[in-house]
Amino acid sequence: MSRLLLPVLAVLAVAACGGKPAPRIVNAPPPPPPPRLVDVSDDSAAVARDAAKLGNWPVKIGKPYQVAGITYYPADERDYREDGVASWYGPGFHAGSTANGERYDQDDLTAAHRTLPMPSWVEVENLDNGRKLTVRINDRGPFARGRIIDLSRKAAQLLGVDRAGTARVRLRRVYPGGRSEIAPPPPPPLVVASAPVAPVTTIALPTASREPARATTSTGANWLVQVAALGDGGRVSWLKGFLSSFGPVLTESLPGGLTRVRLGPFGSETMASAALAQVRAAGYADARLIPPTTSR
């Protein structure tokens, strides 16, 4: 039997030698490198446009204010850096008033901070995923313990904060568009000594009599200036402190959780109009007069 198997095995061996060679084992490609930290640097153009659009928008810092027993001290911190927790706010505040008088737009690259000037800019780095984004401070908050910035919805989406709700972040103040400093006060007027002149004799000419100008100012004890209606107690507290230099501040709770912030009462329309001009110059373009008949 073994003699019969030998030729068969020989034939199989020859056939095996004449077949296709066994494929070579090729090393698998190296795994892709770990993803780099994502830098959302394409926001620079949007930030520059935002800064240019503001033009000479007044810078607000404000007085110390208190929320839930904690006193906050607004200041122009030039080298501000801080690590902490970021949160975000959106639909419930959309189109409402911010602390600096703007209309909050949840799709802008903005944020609320408790003490930095409005406007100012900070670079926000999400320490969980490495993303970075520059946002403009235009509101006050957040007032939950342990949180250092409240992002707009758009900023939260770009930074990957919107789903989790909060994230560990690092803040660094930056200065886009050449806005490196708060505008300094105007220099004192230049006084130039005038040369002495010869005395001049003047002759008074008769003039036509004029009727005394009639006063057109309405008087009353309840002229008010409507400034804003806010839904956050901390922002209301800050605004009350900021407006106190313009006149007496009144607040009134409204349905839906809003608080109306007004100046007054003023004893005349002239006084109220002067306060209104100051408030509008401070950035609250939607402020308006409330006559006595509609004060309530």
Q: List, for residues 179-237, the tens digit of each pLDDT value.
A: 554 444 444 444 444 444 445 444 454 554 444 444 444 555 789 999 988 888 888 89
Dump the DSSP string for 125-191. Answer: EETTT--EEEEEEEE----STTEEEEE-HHHHHHHT-TTTS-EEEEEEEE-GGG--SPPPPPPPPPP
b/e per residue 239-269 (b: at least 16 CB within 10 A): bbbbbeebbebbeeeeeeebbbbbbbbbeeb
Please state, in angstroms and rounded to a whole number, the distance separating the CA atoms of residues 121 and 175. Answer: 6
Measured in whole angstroms, the distance separating CA 264 from the mean position of its chain's CA atoms is 28
Please state, in angstroms and rounded to a whole number, the distance separating the CA atoms of residues 62 and 71. Answer: 13
Q: What's the whole-model pTM score?
A: 0.64
**pLDDT value at residue 219:** 53
Please state, in angstroms and rounded to a whole number, the distance separating the CA atoms of residues 277 and 279. Answer: 5
Those residues of the chain that have pLDDT short of 70 are 1-57, 177-220, 294-296
Nearest to 99 by CA among 193, 244, 231: 231
**pLDDT value at residue 94:** 84
**pLDDT value at residue 245:** 85
Please state, in angstroms and rounded to a whole number, the distance separating the CA atoms of residues 76 and 74. Answer: 7
Please state, in angstroms and rounded to a whole number, the distance separating the CA atoms of residues 170 and 117. Answer: 18
SS3 content of the chain, % helix, strand, coil (to 5): 25, 25, 50
**pLDDT value at residue 211:** 47
Query: Which residue is listed with tokens 């003047």?
Result: 202
**pLDDT value at residue 39:** 43
- What DSSP character marks residue 193? P
Q: In the chain, how long is the greatest CA-to-CA distance?
A: 155
